Structure formats: structure tokens, C-alpha cells
Chain A
Amino acid sequence: MIVFRMGLAAVTALALAMSMSAMPSAMAKDWTKLVIATEGAFPPYNMTTPDGKLVGFEIDMAHDLCARMKVECTIVAQDWDGIIPGLNAGKYDAIIAGMSITPKRREVIDFSVPYVSSPATFEVPKSMADLPMLGERINLDDKAASDAAIAKLGSALKGKIVGAQVSTIQADFLKTYLSKDIELRTYPSNAEQDLDLAAGRIDMAFASSSYLVSAFAKPGGEKMKMSGPFVTGGMMGAGSGVGLRKADTDLKDKFDAAIKASYADGTMSKLTVQWFKIDVAVKY
């Protein structure tokens, strides 16, 4: 009986040890291996090819950053709406998924310094009249000016159905500033939102302008255009950064250094031009 108990204890200890080693966050952090999560559905930042491979600006950038940090990286796809809980649950060590650095997200995770920045704007069918303030900027940091601009925008959008991806700065902006004027529909990914815009179920979408540039290049995208103001600042965040667990400050230092080094030698700008057609790299 005693032998049996000891055996059981050994098995339990072994199982415990194995589950510990399966959890990257629980082990000593020498960071030789890194698991990075991306969405795989946000072109040109990250997307999935028909044969299931992850490609895109952030995939190339992640490989470059990993080489600079001298770590071996595995990139996995994870649905957007569970991507932050998954990081904190230890399923992976970093998020590189076009995620904007916002105060709300900072409450639960940490971010590296930003690597790219692109303002949000409206996507409408070409047949639709232009929204007011076409091409102008609304900076939410300037409260007086932005309040007036948003009031003007709100009256132009009265009664319209506007789509956005769930759990994004764009959806948050619509909910916070325009919920009295519009009906908001949220989608699991931008692809579904674009299908509904093409079908006429929603009047317009609100998305990152760098995403829209690539969406217009796809079949069906030629019927769409950007319209209305570009929205930046405040809750719209300070550009996209690498999402990290708050405890992993050493990993944040590594990413910060790698991003700045990548900007310094021109790699970051080159990659953004390759994927976005324009240089949207954050300057250091």
C-alpha cells in the first residue's frame, strides 16, 4: 500500500512538473524560445494563405525582431476576441496582431514601444456621397476641437448602420462617441464586416486606414472608398505595439531594443513600404 502511495505521489509530482514546463510563463525566463500569437485575418498586417500559412507585414517583422533578439520564434494564429485573455493565460508569450496601444488594454497587459501607426477612417461604397471632413484629422487629445468635429460627424451619420471589428479601438470609438447617432454592428473579423458592407447590410465601416488600403486591392474592394475624417489620439492609442504580459518586463526591454534597432537600420520602413505601399513606421 505504501509502495502504491509513493508511486502515486511520484506520478503526481511528474504530472505537475510536466504541466509547469508546458506553461512558458512559470519557468525561468531565459527567452530562448518564444511563442507569438497573431490573428491571421488582418491583411496586410497578418493573414492566412489558402494553404494555411501565416504571412504579412507582422510575420516578416516578427522574424526580423526575433533574429535581433536571438530567440527562436513560433507564430500561432489566435482569434482576435480571445487574444488578450490567451496571453494572460500563458498560451503564448507575445501578441503581434496590429494591436493598438490603448489605456484600456494597458490595464491588463503591457506593450512594447509602437512599431507602426495608422489612423482610423470610414469605408463606404463609391456610390455614396462623401462624409463631411473628408481627409481632415480629428485628434482626440484636443478635446475642444474634437468634440465639435464629432458633433458634426454625428449629425451626418444619424440613423446609419456602422460596422467595426469587435474589441477594437474603432468599435470603442463608435460606442463612446457616436452611439446616440448610429447603430453599431460588431464583427469577429474585418472580412465579415466587408462582406456585409458589400451586401448593403451596413452603410459603412470604420477601420484602420492601412487595413483599408489592402482591402481595396482585393476583389470587390474596388467598389469601396475611404471617406470622412481620420481619427487619432486619445482612446485611439499611440500606434500598434507588441502585447506582453505585465510581469515580463525583461521581454519588453528586448522587444523595445529590437524595434528601435529595426527602425534605425531602415528595415522597419522597408517592410512597411513593401506591405502597406507607404511608410507607416513609427519614428525614433
Chain B
Amino acid sequence: MDLAFLGETLLRLASAIPTTLELAFVSVSIGLALALLLALLRASSVIGAACVRAYVFVFRGSPLLVQIFLIYYGLGQFDAVRESFLWPFLRRPWWCAILALALNTAAYGSEIIRGGLAAVPAGSIEAGRVAGMSRFTLYRRIVLPLALRQALPAYGSEIIIMVKSTSLASIITITELTGTARQIVSDSFRAIEVFVCAGLIYLAINFVLTRAVLLLERTLTPHARGVPR
């Protein structure tokens, strides 16, 4: 065991952590907003529901790796895309990765939110209506808080999956954690030590994330902790 090499590797990998976190944070934020829109669209009309179902089918049914390849290498082949106003964004590997990750997590997220909405007891909604709440107030005070609480455990898993999925960005020249690890392997030819270090860093990130989601879950379910007397 070469401790000096491990230390040096961890240090070099640590410099890539911000890129990984940035990719995960930006794509999950955009993805969540998109997921909410999709979930509401799905509940709004028949045509809306059909569109959302098709979207979810495509993005949940095909591998994220393929989606990244299609967006990065596929779109870049068309002159129309290269001459459009989108090219300054699509030219950058970073934005292509964000786009693929966000579109993908939006599909999963909208299903999770749909599950959460479906789990809101009809009685709670009726009680809100009886109390004279408007549709907006009903959503704000009854439906969304309950749905969020129901959806949180599943959405926590989705966030963790997204942190791990950012590793796929390494194949489109982004030097995030996994990309950096592969570069170190190609410099040192020592695969095991480097990937073990990278794995440990992912574990540490996700350990903090699971704790944070758990904390949020506990905050949102005060009744589960017993009523203070």
C-alpha cells in the first residue's frame, strides 16, 4: 500500500468534487422544476397527460448514457443546430451534460411526484374544500405538503442516483470526479487504488445527502416523533 500515492490521488480527486456537485445540483434543480411542471401538466388535461406519458416513456426507457451521446454527439452533427442560437450552449460539454441529466431526472421526478400526489388522502382534500379553501390555497396548504412528504424518500434516492449519474459526464470530456480518476489511472496505470478513492468520495457525498434527506423527512413529519406535552 502506497500511502503517499493514495494521499496525492485523494487530493487530485478532491479538486474535482466541486464539478461533480455543481453538475448534480444544477441538473437536479432544473430537473425538479421541470418534474413539477410535468406532474401538474399530467393532472391538467388528457392531451397534457398523454404528452407527459410519452416524455416519461422515452427518458425513463432509454439509458442515460445513450441520451448523453445523442445530445452531445448527435445534435452537433446537424448544421441547423450548429447555426442556431442554441449552439453557444450545446457547444459546451458542460451544458450538454446538464441538459441530459436534467431531462432524465425530470422524467423520474415527475413520476415520483405523481405518486406523492396520488397518495394524498381524498378526505384531506374534501376537508380543505369544506373549509372553503380556494384551489390554490388547497394545493399550497394541503396537497403539496402532504405529497412532498410522501414523495421525499423516493426523491432522496433519485438525488443520490443523480450524484452517481454525473460520472457519465466524464465520457463527454468533462473532468469531474470519474473523469479525473480515469486521467489519474491513465497517468499512473494503477486502477484499483484510484477507483477505490473515487468510490469513497462518492460514498462520503451520498452519506451526507442521505442524512440531509432524513433530517428533512423528520422535520416534515413532526407527528411521527410524538406530540410535545
Residues of A within 8 A of B (CB): 81-82, 84-85, 88, 104-105, 108-109, 163, 166-167, 185-188, 192, 195-196, 198-201
Contact = CB atoms under 8 A, between A and B. Distances in A.
A185 B92 CA distance: 11
Contact of B189 (A85, A163, A201): A85
Contacts of B73: 192, 195-196, 199
8 contacts: A82-B191, A85-B189, A104-B187, A105-B189, A108-B189, A167-B187, A198-B76, A201-B91
Contacts of A166: 182-183, 186
A84 B185 CA distance: 10
B140 interface: no
Nearest to A200: B82
A280 B27 CA distance: 49
B77 A85 contact: no
Contact of B190 (A85, A185, A188, A199): A85
B197 to A, nearest CB: 15
A167 B185 CA distance: 9
B93 interface: yes
A240 B171 CA distance: 26
Interface of B: 73, 76-77, 82, 91, 93, 171, 173, 182-183, 185-187, 189-191
> Is chain B's interface secondary structure helix, strand, loop, or mixed overall?
helix
B191 A85 contact: yes
Nearest to B91: A201
Contacts of B183: 166-167, 186
A186 B182 CA distance: 11
B186 A196 contact: no
Contacts of A163: 173
Contacts of B77: 195, 198-199
Contacts of A187: 173
Nearest to B186: A167
A228 B82 CA distance: 27
Given A85-B185, A88-B189, A108-B189, A188 B82 contact: no
Contacts of A82: 185, 191
A244 to B, nearest CB: 14
A81 B189 contact: no
Nearest to B92: A201
B100 to A, nearest CB: 15
Nearest to A86: B191
Contacts of B82: 199-200
B185 A200 contact: no
B185 A196 contact: no
Given A167-B186, A186-B183, A195 B76 contact: yes
A128 B17 CA distance: 37
A43 to B, nearest CB: 18
Nearest to B96: A201
A84 B189 contact: yes
Given A84-B189, A185-B173, A196-B76, 13 more contacts: A81-B182, A81-B186, A85-B189, A85-B191, A88-B189, A163-B173, A167-B187, A186-B183, A195-B73, A195-B77, A199-B77, A200-B91, A201-B91
| Residue of B93, B171, B173 ringed by the most chain A CB atoms within 10 A | B173
